[in-house]
Amino acid sequence: MADEDEFAEFLSESRDNLDLFENAMLALEREPGNERHVRDAFRSMHSIKGTSGFFDVGGLTGVAHAAENVLSLLRDEELECDALVTTALLRVADSLRAMFDLVVRGEPPAGDPPLVAALEVIARGGRPALPERAGERAIEPEPPVADAAPNEPPFAHAMARAVEAVVAPGDGGGVAAARADAPTHEPRRDVSLLPPAPGALASPTHAPPADAGGPAESRSVRIDVTLLDRLMDLAGEIVLARNQILRHAASTSDPGFLSTAHSLNALTTELQERVMKTRMQPVRGLFAKLPRLVRDVSGRCGKSIRLELSGEETELDRTILDGIKDPLTHLVRNAIDHGAETPAERAEAGKAPQVTVAIRASHDSGYVRIVVSDDGRGIDPLRVGRKAIERRLLSQAELERTAPGDLLKLIFLPGFSTASTVSEISGRGVGMDVVKTMVEQLGGTVDLESEAGRGTAVILSIPLTLAIMPALIVSTGGDRYAIPQTSVHEIVRIIPQRGDRLEWVGDAPVYRLRGQLLPLVFLDRQLELESPTAPGAAGPINIAVVQVQGRRFGIVVDRIEDAAEIVVKPLARQVQAASIFGGATILSDGTVALILDLVDMARRTRAGLEEVARHAASEQQAAGPTNTVPTTTMLVFAIGRRLLATELGEVKRIEKLHASAIETTGRGSVVQYRGELMPVMPLGDLLEAPHDTEGEFVHLLVCDRGDKPVGLLVDRVVDVVVGAFEVKRRAARHGLRGTAVVQGRATDVVDLPALLSRIAPSIRPPAGDALDGA
Amino acid sequence: MAHERQICTFLLGQQLCGLPVERVQEVLRPQRMTRMPLAPAAVRGLLNLRGQVVVAIDLRPRFGLPPTPSPTSCKNVVVRGVDGPASLLVDEVGDVVTVGDLQRESPPEMMGDALRGLVTGVYKLRDRVVVLLDAEAAISV
């Protein structure tokens, strides 16, 4: 039964991919040379080929493979996409579609040798006559189709997807996956979300309760997921209204109003949680598909794999679950195909014959972490570097300067693949860059850790829900825009009077951030607003430093306004073509703000960013050995009248907030931080430095302690200084590294890791962390 | 028997236009709006309709009129679209009128390309003429 389920899923997924492929080819015909369409087409065909390889579907894989070959040549610009090539590839779609129809009827398709032959001739640079299509005599290049489906932005797409749900009233608890091909009117007690197409289904998780007969009938009701989406929207709006009321409550002393405000607060929080729960599903359904995948892939590669799954009960919004299915599949295939050694290789290395691939899901402060790890051969940074040079992603000089840890990140660059042979399983070049893009489109991040000979771990960090996310609100040209907070690294304010300034590389603006060139994007110019900021204007310049797809750049805005939890709304059809926006949101004052899609923005500005990167490389080269003096970046801050410093790298984030935002509970001080309660520790108490209690604002140095953030309270952040500092040890004092001369003043350098380890583990946020709109 | 229908009328400049009343969700006073950069010219902004983000569309250029100088001082006719609501920026909102087939004329032959597909008919009222628009075409850009 499970196999049938998977097979049905394979069919529906492949048909979707076929549609995507066809649309990409048609888009390519309209916009010849647009490499995005080529990549999209390649990716879709690659998925079809990849999954069809697992099922015995006759000649299907052969056709897909031949098509993928041609697409790979197009992608590498070794072949030009003209009418003949387009027609041939569209013919592939027809042929595959016909084969899928055969497969559905249970007949193994024989393949399409004439088409495969024609594709092979094309791949060799020939101009074959295309085989005739059934029911058609002459072969004409198809005219471009004007009304092909536009590419929907991911948010909108995810939000707009209508599926149906079965909801059990009064049972606010768990959400389980249900099989879509089960008789749909069969009553269920579980809250279940059904995929839209009869073929696409989630795996069975809990069986329905044994007594799901007569009495359960009255407890379940079918609800269209668009209605659930609307409820979700409304819950989000109520949170915003509640926040306004709470702000008002802070400035009133009417006890009646205050108590009403408090109960409204509690009810709203619960309402929001409950509504969100209706869309949540455990990752179990997703994980359930992996054993089969592992078995098939490992069988094919002749490797012995033990699969470990944990955290299957971890819940995620179903649109996000859908979104991470492909990245997860890619990662598992990669781990087996590239990461795992053969038993012989392992014996030689003195390892147990079986490779362990572990997939673990867990909650981590508003995010879900999914770690895919293996104890295979690991990734050799030098090999990555060599490959990057081969692929012309890096110059020899750049390679020599790149730290081994950074070399691993090259794997995320588009067009990178370390597999030396093309394999049917994880292929050539679709992989980590696609994984990264897909995860980032969900507002998540991807990290990679690897040790040669020991194994590799890929860490996905994914928001619990797409619908609400933390964002930085900025304004430009009089309008406000939201930037997803997960991508924001820091905020920089350039004050020309202090000698800071923008520089230009060609026509690309840059800023020297702690000695490194940071490419800049002027938001007003990017959005073609009427009154662009004059370059080099005299006033202060605000930059939000962001990182997406491994590219770091600064977005220049007029003002940084606020940090807020926002409810993501899809954009209407009329404006979906403006892909620079991932959606819209309604701010607490009721105005609409657009959400910037940084992935798209990075893509648009790539040429400029690359030029800056090249320039930075050649500049560093010219600077030569003088650049090798080790420099440190110090964060200088004050507690009371005492100046202290710490290495900036030890601080994850700096937050400025109103002193009243810190709440005291029975177990210490806490502050609401990204939807959770974060413990706050006055740093002065650990260093016997008295705090200044007068200030209206305080700063928190947010550090990681274990996997939880903790806020260290300081009175003032003074400056960030780059230089070579000699830290002189003084008589042993706890929590201090020693003293250094920073900007001409003797400054105590704090040993944050040592201090953090001293904080009692009892400082934990109180139970019942609430996801709270800020 | 003459087929009768109800039309919600509004002014674009001096042009009296109408939409089938069942396609008009509501009429709003001037709304606060957010500019939508990089959007088609007819999209003049986004407005918050009770928590829903709705595009505001200026039809005036389709009728050969200059674009409205100030979208935030126009009234909004919210149209029920197949893909959700969208708002038309109009200069004035008129009455709902009942018209019959006898009053109907075909759209003038020499109508420009911009209006073809948009105008589905012309109805003679007692003192003036109302141009009936296709709701879906009106909110497409």
Residue A509 has pLDDT above 80, yes or no: yes
Pairing of strands A445-451, A355-364: unpaired
Contact flag B53-A569 (C-beta cutoff 8 Å): yes
Which of B32, B35, B84 is closest, CB to CB, to A572?
A: B84
Contact flag B32-A591 (C-beta cutoff 8 Å): yes
> Do A740 and A749 contact (CB within 8 A), yes or no?
yes
A241 min Cα distance to partner chain B (Å): 11
Q: How confident is the model at residue A557 (pLDDT cuts 50, 70, 90)?
A: very high
Residue A536 has pLDDT above 50, yes or no: no
Q: How high does pLDDT run on average in chain A?
A: 75
Contact flag A578-B39 (C-beta cutoff 8 Å): yes
Residue A587 has pLDDT above 70, yes or no: yes
Residues of A in contact with B46 (CB under 8 A): 575, 584, 592, 594
Most confident of A219-223, A289-293, A497-501, B6-10: B6-10
Residue A169 has pLDDT above 60, yes or no: no
Q: Count the alpha carbons within 13 Å of B105 in the hemisphere toward its beta carbon.
A: 10
A569 touching chain B per CB within 8 A = yes
What does CATH list as the number for A468-622? 2.40.50.180
Place of tokens 């409550």: A249
Residue A771 has pLDDT above 60, yes or no: no
Place of tokens 């009129």: B65
Residues of A in contact with B88 (CB under 8 A): none
pLDDT (0 to 100) of residue B57: 96
Q: Coil, strand, or helix at residue B47? A: strand
Closest alpha carbon within chain A to B86: A572
Instruction: Identify the CA nearest to A565 among candidates A676, A480, A470, A657.
Output: A470
pLDDT (0 to 100) of residue A210: 42
For the beta carbon of residue A356, count every other beta carbon within 10 angstroms: 15
Mean pLDDT confidence for B70-86: 92
A479 touching chain B per CB within 8 A = yes
Between the CA of residue A350 and those of A179, A301, A335, A705, what are the distances in Å? 45, 20, 20, 35
Burial class of residue A358 (count of CB atoms within 10 Å of its CB; 0-12, 13-18, 19+): middle
What is the C-alpha separation between A698 and A707, in angstroms, rounded?
A: 24
User: Is the model more confident about B107 or about A114?
Assistant: A114
pLDDT (0 to 100) of residue A649: 77
A237 touching chain B per CB within 8 A = yes
Mean pLDDT confidence for A329-357: 89
pLDDT (0 to 100) of residue A203: 37
What is the C-alpha separation between A433 and A549, in angstroms, rounded?
A: 8
ipTM score of the complex? 0.91
> What's A632-758's CATH class?
mainly beta
Starting at the edge strand found earlier in the chain, the sheet holding A716-723 runs A716-723, A632-639, A642-647, A745-750, A736-742
Residues in Cβ contact with A217 at an 8 Å cutoff, skipping those fewer than 6 apart: A187
Closest alpha carbon within chain A to B37: A527
User: Is the model more confident about A229 or about A730?
Assistant: A229
For the beta carbon of residue B3, count every other beta carbon within 10 angstroms: 9
Query: Residue A18 phi/psi, 5° resolution?
Result: -65, -40
Residues of B in contact with A590 (CB under 8 A): 32, 48
Q: Please name the residue ranges forming H helices in A605-675.
A: 606-623
Contact flag A527-B55 (C-beta cutoff 8 Å): no
E-assigned strands of B80-128?
A: 86-90, 92-100, 104-105, 119-124
Contact flag A592-B33 (C-beta cutoff 8 Å): yes
pLDDT (0 to 100) of residue A617: 62
B85 min Cα distance to partner chain A (Å): 9
Q: Count the alpha carbons within 13 Å of A208 in the hemisphere toward its beta carbon.
A: 19
CA of residue A497 relative to chain centroid, distance? 38
Which of A233, A477, A574 is closest, CB to CB, to B43?
A: A574
Same fold, A468-622 and A632-758: yes
Closest alpha carbon within chain B to A238: B51
A580 touching chain B per CB within 8 A = yes
DSSP A548-576: ETTEEEEEEESEEEEEEEEE-BPPPGGGT
Which of A234, A578, A586 is closest, CB to CB, to B48?
A: A586
- Lowest-confidence region among A160-169, A273-282, A731-740: A160-169
CA of residue A544 relative to chain centroid, distance? 18
pLDDT (0 to 100) of residue A773: 36
CA-derived radius of gyration, chain B: 15
Question: Considering Cα of A700, then A704, then A706, then A709, what sign does the dihedral take?
Answer: positive
- Lowest-confidence region among A17-31, A417-431, A730-744: A417-431
pLDDT (0 to 100) of residue A774: 34
Mean pLDDT confidence for A315-319: 82
What does CATH list as the number for A283-463? 3.30.565.10
A574 touching chain B per CB within 8 A = yes
Residue A467 has pLDDT above 90, yes or no: no
Q: How confident is the model at residue B12 (pLDDT cuts 50, 70, 90)?
A: very high
Most confident of A483-492, A760-769, B8-17: B8-17
Residue A423 has pLDDT above 70, yes or no: no
Which of A234, A479, A527 is closest, CB to CB, to B34?
A: A479
> Do A165 and A113 contact (CB within 8 A), yes or no?
no
Counting other chains too, the contacts that A616-622 makes at CB distance below 8 Å and 24 or more residues apart are: A616/A516, A616/A517, A617/A395, A617/A397, A617/A398, A617/A401, A619/A517, A620/A401, A621/A397
Interval A737-753: pLDDT, tens: 888 877 777 788 888 88
Residue A165 has pLDDT above 70, yes or no: no
Which of B34, B52, B86 is closest, CB to CB, to A591?
A: B34
Q: How confident is the model at residue B87 (pLDDT cuts 50, 70, 90)?
A: very high
What is the C-alpha separation between B17 and B11, in angstroms, rounded?
A: 6
A19 min Cα distance to partner chain B (Å): 21
Residue A682 has pLDDT above 80, yes or no: yes
Residue type at A485? Q
Return the domain boundaries, chain A. 2-123, 154-207+218-279, 283-463, 468-622, 632-758
Residue A234 has pLDDT above 70, yes or no: yes
Query: Residue B66 phi/psi, 5° resolution?
Result: -65, 150
- Lowest-confidence region among A90-94, A241-245, A607-611, A654-658: A607-611
What is the C-alpha separation between A180 and A203, in angstroms, rounded?
A: 9
User: Is the model more confident about A672 or about B2?
Assistant: A672
A573 touching chain B per CB within 8 A = yes
What does CATH list as the number for B4-138? 2.40.50.180
Q: Coil, strand, or helix at residue A77? A: coil
For the beta carbon of residue A427, count every other beta carbon within 10 angstroms: 22
Instruction: Identify the CA nearest to A570 among candidates A323, A325, A226.
Output: A226
Contact flag B40-A575 (C-beta cutoff 8 Å): yes
Percent of chain A with pLDDT over 90: 7
pLDDT (0 to 100) of residue B19: 96
> Do B81 and B136 contact (CB within 8 A), yes or no?
yes
Interval A257-288: pLDDT, tens: 888 888 888 888 888 778 877 878 889 888 98
Residues of B with a Cβ under 8 Å from any A Cβ are: 32-40, 43, 46-48, 51-55, 57, 83-84, 86, 139-141
Interface A-B: count of C-beta contacts within 8 A: 74
Interval A427-441: pLDDT, tens: 434 568 788 888 877
For the beta carbon of residue A562, count every other beta carbon within 10 angstroms: 15
List the single best residue of B31, B36, B88 to mutate versus A (max A Cβ within 10 A). Answer: B36
List the single best residue of A152, A588, A592, A604 to mutate versus B (max B Cβ within 10 A). Answer: A592
Residue A307 has pLDDT above 70, yes or no: yes
CATH of A2-123, one of 1.20.120.160, 3.60.110.10, 1.10.1040.10, 3.40.50.300: 1.20.120.160
Return the domain boundaries, chain B. 4-138
Residue A373 has pLDDT above 50, yes or no: yes
Residues of B in contact with A156 (CB under 8 A): none
Mean pLDDT confidence for A159-166: 36
Q: How confident is the model at residue B64 (pLDDT cuts 50, 70, 90)?
A: confident
SS (H, E, C) A616-628: HHHHHHHHHHHHH
The two structure tokens encoding residue A154 = 């991911």
A227 touching chain B per CB within 8 A = no
Closest alpha carbon within chain B to A585: B53
Give the helix/strand (H/E) hosting A11.
helix A2-30
- Lowest-confidence region among A116-130, A222-236, A323-337, A583-597: A222-236
User: For the CA atoms of A285, A288, A294, A295, what is the dihedral angle to 10 degrees?
Assistant: -150
pLDDT (0 to 100) of residue A478: 87
Interval A57-104: pLDDT, tens: 767 888 888 898 888 888 888 888 888 888 888 888 888 888 888 887
Residue A472 has pLDDT above 70, yes or no: yes
Q: How confident is the model at residue A608 (pLDDT cuts 50, 70, 90)?
A: low
Contact flag A572-B37 (C-beta cutoff 8 Å): no
pLDDT (0 to 100) of residue B20: 94
Burial code of A603-626, b = ≥16 C-beta within 10 A, e = fewer? bebeebbebbeebbbeebeeeeee
What is the C-alpha separation between B130 and B141, in angstroms, rounded?
A: 22
Mean pLDDT confidence for A152-175: 38
Mean pLDDT confidence for A324-339: 88
Contact flag A594-B52 (C-beta cutoff 8 Å): no
User: Is the model more confident about A104 or about A594?
Assistant: A594
> Do A505 and A517 contact (CB within 8 A), yes or no?
yes
Interval A237-248: pLDDT, tens: 787 778 778 878
A319 min Cα distance to partner chain B (Å): 20
